[in-house]
Amino acid sequence: MIEIVSLLVGLLSGPQPLTVAVGPAVAGVEVRLDGAPVAEMAAPPWSAVVDLGPDLAVHRLEVVARDSAGGRLGSARRWINRPPADAAAAGEGGMVVAVLDPATREPLAALLEARRKRLISVGLDAEELPRLLLPLGPADRLRLLSPVTTAGTENAPRDLFADSPYYELDRPGIRSRGFSYYLPRWWPEPVPPRLADAVCLAGWQAAAGGGSRAVLLVADPASSDASLYSPAEARRYLNELGVPLRVWTPAADPGPLAAAWGEVESVGSWPALESATEALRSLLEAPPESRGAVP
Amino acid sequence: MIEFVTLLLGLISGPQVVEVRPARPVAAVEMVLDGETVARRTGPPWRFVVDFGDDLAPHQLAAVALDAAGREVARASQSINAPREVAEARWLLTQDADGRPVRASLTWELLWAGEPRSIEISFDGRVLDGVEPRGFDLPPYDASQIHRLAASLTFADGVKAAAEVVFGGEFGDRVSSDLTAVPVRTTGRRAPQAGALQGAFVRAGRPVPVIAVDAAAADVVLVRDRAAQERLAELVTAVEQRYRRRNLRRPKDLLPLGSHGDRVRFVWTEQLATRRTPGRRLDPGAFPQPVEAGESPAGLLWPLVHSAEPAVPQRTADAVALAGLLAAGGGRPRVVVLVLDPSTPDRSRQTPAQVRRYLRLLQVPLRVWSVGGGEAPGWGKVEPVGDWEDLRAAVAALRRDLRQQAVVWVEGRHPPGAVTLAPAATAAGLRPAVAETDGEPE
């Protein structure tokens, strides 16, 4: 009798268009969000705008089809921003979804290499080394989510693909630069990573499997963040999902990172990294009730 | 008066929220899409969901305000999926007593406040340095020939605008501000004169006056994904190095494509931003697929540091559609060239067939080059460019394609694809720039 046609995919907030398909006997549609009526549709094209509020939050959307006398003919429901059921993410051990700011890769690699050399110098087998460096629990899993995307924002005035200006070929008056000059040389400028957005997605994915989970963000205080959502909004969303967040930085002074994200652990030395990893491991081993529940 | 709060810029399909603002109280507002009323509201909020259909196609959307008696009291309209930018620029020409343009001034508008960061003005392809865009005297010219005054403006955030006016020659003392460029292919060596083409172009069966025929300089828009770009760069760099190693004098252009005034522009297949929605939508598809490091195989730090950066999603077909929009906006002979690596996954919203149909509506020819073997499903004929000889052959074919094209200027402003060729055009040796079957199932 009634179906929700809009895909409502991704993580949504604010006003969003909603379209439903209805059977011939339907005279009106009531839209309910988290149990409260928010919109009515009285005629084709059976579309409305539903305001999900400014924050990223889990919502339950319901559309109720009514006949001309107001009687209930049927309904359809959809979760919004709720983590999907993901069998691949489920398992006995815990799961860490890590978001690595590309600017932190080099200092972390330097720490790792120094430690590796040190362990080899005292006679440990090079083949076994990776396993010995900052282990998680025996059944814990790690998923890496890159914050690198060319889509710097999803709220631009129009669809934008990186493009060049027009280059004039065989232009008189200056040294000619033909097609073969421009063809290999034009590359678009990189855009900053989207750290907070990646943290939102990481929380969404981490929560999918149930069980013990955490999101780890490794960021540099000097990095720009081209995210749609702010660190505070990302933190609130993860809090609602019951997914703990740890923020690390290899920089000595967390500076603006702490102002944006709250508690930041400095991992600029090997002992600090070991200590932060131990804290993360303990978090995964904590009883589930202490981490909140997926709505 | 009524105005659109939502400006539907870029490429639009599917259901979209459209908001309008009447300047004073009205009894109702109707949304009229391509002449048909598709939504109506009798009170605020004046927010509508308008379905533009699954396919990309040019549309005209009007917001019509009605009074209590159902009479129209205000109307606003906007073109959708037609060559139109967030910034627009126009030429104003001052004519002397003989009607001959002698002075030009450029005006521009941006949808939000801002002045252009740069303005380039050219006259017949020659850049005019040091002129004041708001008003300057035109250089001396031969009034018996067609002349083209062009401006290219760049604003913040990469927003661009262009203005072009054509006058002289067959235009006489008329200027092209109310003309529409219809791209065609010529089967003869020379394009026919405008006088021989009266009755050769029609809109909805009615003849449209032909003002001029111009075998003008062409625009080429190249769409490339990262893998294809890397391969093209390897090919060109290798040949450049060969010339250097052998101490040979290099030709001016290793891949001669254009002649005087031809232009080339590049579009990347990685998306920079998506269209504004009233709310916010974080699209997981804009991010690379996550990498599973598995069950604690190598500690925490090792995979963090050593995992390869996952590939950024490519939206090849969507980028081709945008390139078509850019190419159609120039009023010149045009071609979009897609250079792809068939092994790169395409996460576009549009299919290749939908995009080819859209380019046909815009009358923008598409050529598809492939740097790798294998099929490129949906893209039709594919030209290999994986080695230097193939690349040279593909560029030569592109050059011939451009030289076959001309632009017929017809009177009035018409949406893309609205003006078509009548049998008299075929008899005069003209055919559409894009075959009518392009984009249809093969």
Q: What residues in A contact B279, CB-CB < 8 Å?
A: 12-16, 51-52
What is the rounded end-to-end Cα distance, in angstroms, of chain A?
Answer: 28
pLDDT given for residue B390 in this prediction: 94
Q: CA B160: distance to chain centroid? A: 12
pLDDT given for residue A292 in this prediction: 47
In a domain, A173, yes or no: no
Which has the higher per-residue pLDDT, B412 or A70? A70
Which has the higher per-residue pLDDT, B84 or B33? B33
Burial A93-112 (b: 16+ CB within 10 A, else e): bbbbbbbbbebbbebbeebb
Residue from A12, A158, A191 to probe the interface with B (highest B Cβ count within 10 Å): A158
Helix (H, G, I), strand (E, B) or coil at A223: coil
pLDDT given for residue A211 in this prediction: 76
pLDDT given for residue B372 in this prediction: 87
Task: Tell me if B7 and A157 make a contact (CB, 8 A cut-off).
Answer: yes
pLDDT tens digits along B73-92: 888 777 787 765 556 777 77
**How much of chain B exceeds pLDDT 90, in percent?**
25
Per-residue pLDDT band for A157 (boundaries 50, 70, 90) equals very low
Q: What residues in B contact A186, CB-CB < 8 Å?
A: 266
The listed range with the strongest mean pLDDT (B212-221, B292-301, B348-357) is B348-357
pLDDT tens digits along A132-151: 677 777 778 888 898 887 65
Which has the higher per-residue pLDDT, B45 or A25? A25
Determine the distance in angstroms separating the CA of A221 from the nearest CA of chain B, rounded to an integer: 18
pLDDT at A295 over 50: no
Task: Name the closest residue on chain A to residue B285, using Cα atoms.
Answer: A10
pLDDT at A87 over 70: no
Determine the distance in angstroms separating the CA of A255 from the nearest CA of chain B, rounded to an integer: 23
Which has the higher per-residue pLDDT, B278 or B79? B79
pLDDT given for residue B16 in this prediction: 80
Task: Tell me if B283 and A10 make a contact (CB, 8 A cut-off).
Answer: yes
What value does the mean pLDDT of chain B take? 82
Query: In CATH terms, is domain B2-80 a member of 2.130.10.10?
Result: no
What pTM was computed for the model? 0.69
Helix (H) or strand (E) holding A181: helix A179-185
Residues A204 and A274 in one domain: yes
pLDDT given for residue A261 in this prediction: 95
Per-residue pLDDT band for A294 (boundaries 50, 70, 90) equals very low
CATH number at residue A29: 2.60.40.10
Q: In what order do the strands lie in the sheet with B2-4?
A: B2-4, B15-22, B47-51
Residue B278 CA to residue B16 CA, distance in Å, equals: 10
Q: What residues in B contact A4, CB-CB < 8 Å?
A: none
Contacts of B213 (CB under 8 A, 6+ apart): B170, B191, B192, B193, B194, B197, B406, B407, B408, B409
Contacts of B113 (CB under 8 A, 6+ apart): none
Per-residue pLDDT band for B113 (boundaries 50, 70, 90) equals very low
How many domains is chain A partitioned into structurally? 2
Residues A75 and A96 in one domain: no
Residue from B152, B287, B347, B388 to probe the interface with A (highest A Cβ count within 10 Å): B287
Residues A231 and A139 in one domain: yes
Residues A213 and A137 in one domain: yes
pLDDT tens digits along A171-211: 655 555 788 888 888 777 777 888 999 999 999 988 887 77
The residue ranges of DSSP E strands in A59-195, in sequence order, are: 59-66, 72-80, 95-100, 141-145, 153-156, 160-163, 167-168
Mean pLDDT on B96-125: 78
Mean pLDDT on B362-368: 94
Residue B124 CA to residue B135 CA, distance in Å, equals: 18
Helix (H, G, I), strand (E, B) or coil at A54: coil
Domain extents in chain B: 2-80, 82-174, 178-272+313-442
Helix (H, G, I), strand (E, B) or coil at A279: helix
pLDDT given for residue B87 in this prediction: 67
Helix (H, G, I), strand (E, B) or coil at A153: strand
Count other Cβ atoms within 10 Å, centred on residue B270. 21
Residue A142 CA to residue A85 CA, distance in Å, equals: 18
pLDDT at B99 over 90: no
CATH number at residue A246: 3.40.50
Domains B2-80 and B82-174 alike in fold: yes
Residues A233 and A112 in one domain: yes
Count other Cβ atoms within 10 Å, centred on residue B23. 11
pLDDT at A234 over 80: yes
- Looking at A30, A48, A80, the residue that finishes a domain is A80
Residues A8 and A55 in one domain: yes
The listed range with the strongest mean pLDDT (B9-13, B215-219, B318-322) is B318-322
Residues A68 and A203 in one domain: no
In a domain, A174, yes or no: no
Helix, strand, coil share (%) of chain A residues, nearest 5:
30, 30, 40
Q: Exposed, middle or buried: residue B117 (CB in 10 Å: 0-12, 13-18, 19+)?
A: exposed
Q: Exposed, middle or buried: residue A187 (CB in 10 Å: 0-12, 13-18, 19+)?
A: middle
ω into B45 cis (within 30 of 0): yes
- Looking at A59, A80, A101, the residue that finishes a domain is A80
Residues A65 and A127 in one domain: no
pLDDT at A246 over 50: yes
Task: Tell me if A19 and B15 make a contact (CB, 8 A cut-off).
Answer: yes
In a domain, A259, yes or no: yes
Task: Name the closest residue on chain B to residue A162, using Cα atoms.
Answer: B268
**How much of chain A exceeds pLDDT 90, in percent?**
38
- Looking at A31, A54, A80, the residue that finishes a domain is A80
What value does the mean pLDDT of chain A take? 84
| Tokens 């395409």, located at residue | B346
In a domain, A164, yes or no: no
**How much of chain B exceeds pLDDT 70, in percent?**
88
pLDDT tens digits along B132-170: 998 899 999 888 777 888 888 887 656 677 777 778 776
Q: Which CATH architecture has domain B178-272+313-442?
A: 3-Layer(aba) Sandwich (3.40)
pLDDT at B63 over 50: yes
Helix (H, G, I), strand (E, B) or coil at A131: helix
Give the CATH number of domain B82-174; options: 3.20.20.70, 1.10.357.10, 3.40.47.10, 2.60.40.10: 2.60.40.10
Residues A146 and A71 in one domain: no
Helix (H, G, I), strand (E, B) or coil at A76: strand
User: Radius of gyration of chain A from Cα atoms?
Assistant: 25
Residues A50 and A27 in one domain: yes
Q: How many residues can be counted in chain B?
A: 442
Per-residue pLDDT band for B366 (boundaries 50, 70, 90) equals very high
Count other Cβ atoms within 10 Å, centred on residue A200. 28
Helix (H) or strand (E) holding A247: strand A245-249
Range from A119-133, A262-276, B406-420 carrying the lowest mean pLDDT? A119-133
Residues A40 and A148 in one domain: no
Pick from A142, A228, A277: CB nearest B293? A142
In a domain, A239, yes or no: yes
pLDDT given for residue B78 in this prediction: 79
* Whether B377 contacts B352, CB under 8 Å: yes
Q: What residues in B contact A171, CB-CB < 8 Å?
A: 125, 127
pLDDT given for residue B382 in this prediction: 92
Residues A124 and A68 in one domain: no
In a domain, A276, yes or no: yes
- Give residue A148's domain range: 87-152+191-291
pLDDT given for residue B28 in this prediction: 93
Pick from B254, B307, B318: CB nearest A144? B307
